Amino acid sequence: MALERLAIDGGAPVRTAPLPLEFPGVHYMDEREIEAAARVLRAGSPFRYYGKDLQREVEAFEDDFKRFLGIDYSVAVSSGTGALHTALAALGVGPGQEVVVPAYFWVSIAAAVVNLGAIPVLADIDSTFCLDPAEVERRITPRTRAVVMVHMSGAPGNVKAVREVVRRHGVLLLEDCAQCAGGSIAGQKVGTFGDMAIFSFQMNKNLTAGEGGCVVTSDRRLYRRAFAFQDLGYPRDENGRLVTSEPDMRFWGMGYRLDEIRAAILRVQLEKLPRTICAMRRSKYRVRQALAAFPAVQLRTIQDPEGDTGCFLITTYADPATARKVNQALRAEGIVTSPQGVSNVVMTEWGLHLYYNNASLVNRTGLAWQLQENAGLERDYNKGACPAADSLFERSILLPIPSCLSEADEDDIIRAFQKVLGALL
């Protein structure tokens, strides 16, 4: 059969309408979220602690989320960035300490470490696109306080192997589940493997109220410390009363409280999360199955396909030039969302998710690097520090999988891949 002329060479594109925007939870927003938000407003009580007719939505969301994960404690906060800062503070991270973070991450992770006066230490990733356990082992020093296991781009990393390394060295484990809410490994939800975990409910995430976050743990002391830190350093007893007698609970805290309106929305979004994930996973695995016919395309290693939340498809090619060519050809075939979305990019275009794109990190900007306690802890954050990640970024394409793809949309994605890969590989 003659090959079809590619759109990039002047042929007809597979589709002309943009794909839907990704934003997973947004596609399932309806009257229920509107009613939830309106209920809080009608009660005139948008603040978590008191009001004319307090609905206790933040507390209820914390309970719902705990139950969903199967964990003992949760503190809802105003963002994932705030959740990271809160969790690392609760874990006691500070000057003179190192925190191991992956080369593929989000700027907030390095920011939280640096803002606490500690030093981030990069560890390379593997074909899961998350921390390589052997690299974690190599990066741990007597100064390491914690490792941040980030479950990137919708699928869990090899958290069990990382936990084994971390435990052996007596180091703490924080899971960052911002991009993987609802993900699991053999039925165990991400967020329940480490000492603490954080989530984000910003609009790109699997459930959303526009902004929001959560810190979870099964350790009561860590919970109480997190609770105090996110609320101005206000430590509370069982009845919510101020405690001043516990040295362990003294913080210069932050203003990261979540409000009642977002909490009410998040309770509805959480109920819908299994459906949202199911839709993305179904679409993603249809495409992955079709790509199995092209052995030259490497698919991301997935720990447990049943526990993949499905929000991104990552394909990897033999060399950077092939990845770029395939990406441009796919885009020309109409495999793009609107300019607002991530769309379909070679991963080098993925901004502050790549360690070497963080100018403040590369240039070691800020107080952390000037503290005497951190003398001698200088590291290199320039491109080249994590060669496995560098190579994967240049050779891989990231395609978001919207939660509302129709079968026809999926057919178009598959057809475009088949057309492009058939011609170029």
Contact yes or no for 417/293 (Cβ under 8 A):
no
Nearer to ligand PLP, 176 or 308 (CB): 176
Name the DSSP letter for residue 140. Answer: -
Run of H or E residues at 399: strand 396-400
Q: Nearest approach, Cβ of 262 to ligand PLP (angstroms)?
A: 11
Residue 108 sits in the site that holds ligand PLP (CB under 6 A): yes
Q: Which of residues 83-102 bind ligand PLP (CB under 6 A)?
A: 84
Residue type, 327: N
Nearer to ligand PLP, 81 or 97 (CB): 81
What b/e string do you get for 288-321 counting C-beta neighbours within 10 Å, with b at 16 or more? bebbeebeebbebebbeeebbbbbbbbbbbeeee
Q: Nearest approach, Cβ of 117 to ligand PLP (angstroms)?
A: 20
Q: Nearest approach, Cβ of 80 to ligand PLP (angstroms)?
A: 2
Contact yes or no for 25/208 (Cβ under 8 A):
yes
Using the Cα atoms of residue 116, residue 241, residue 57 and residue 177 in order, give the sign of their dihedral. Answer: positive
What is the Cα–Cα distance from 180 to 313, expressed in whole angstroms?
13
What is the Cα–Cα distance from 293 to 297, expressed in whole angstroms?
9
Q: Which of 65, 73, 106, 251 binds ligand PLP (CB under 6 A)?
A: 106
Q: Nearest approach, Cβ of 162 to ligand PLP (angstroms)?
A: 15
What is the Cα–Cα distance from 33 to 291, expressed in whole angstroms?
37
Nearer to ligand PLP, 45 or 358 (CB): 358
Residue 254 sits in the site that holds ligand PLP (CB under 6 A): no
Residue 23 sits in the site that holds ligand PLP (CB under 6 A): no
What is the Cα–Cα distance from 236 to 225, expressed in whole angstroms?
10
Which one is catalytic: 205, 272, 284, 419? 205
Q: Nearest approach, Cβ of 15 to ligand PLP (angstroms)?
A: 29
Residue 357 sits in the site that holds ligand PLP (CB under 6 A): no
How are beta strands 98-102 and 144-150 bridged, if at all?
parallel
Beta bridge partners of 217: 73, 196
Nearer to ligand PLP, 352 or 424 (CB): 352
Burial class (CB in 10 A: 0-12, 13-18, 19+), 388: middle
The alpha carbon of 225 is separated from its chain's Cα centroid by a whole number of angstroms, namely: 23
Interaction mask 180-219, ligand PLP, x per CB under 6 A: --------------------x-x----------x------
Which residue number is nearest to ligand PLP in terms of Cβ?
Answer: 80
Residue 150 sits in the site that holds ligand PLP (CB under 6 A): yes
Residue 81 sits in the site that holds ligand PLP (CB under 6 A): yes
Q: Nearest approach, Cβ of 72 to ligand PLP (angstroms)?
A: 23
Assess whether 325 carries a catalytic annotation: no
Nearer to ligand PLP, 213 or 235 (CB): 213
At a CB cut-off of 8 Å and minimum separation 6, what does 422 contact?
Answer: 3
Task: Name the site residues for ligand PLP (rule: CB under 6 A).
Answer: 79-81, 84, 106, 108-109, 150, 176, 178-179, 200, 202, 213
Q: What is the set of active-site residues?
A: 205
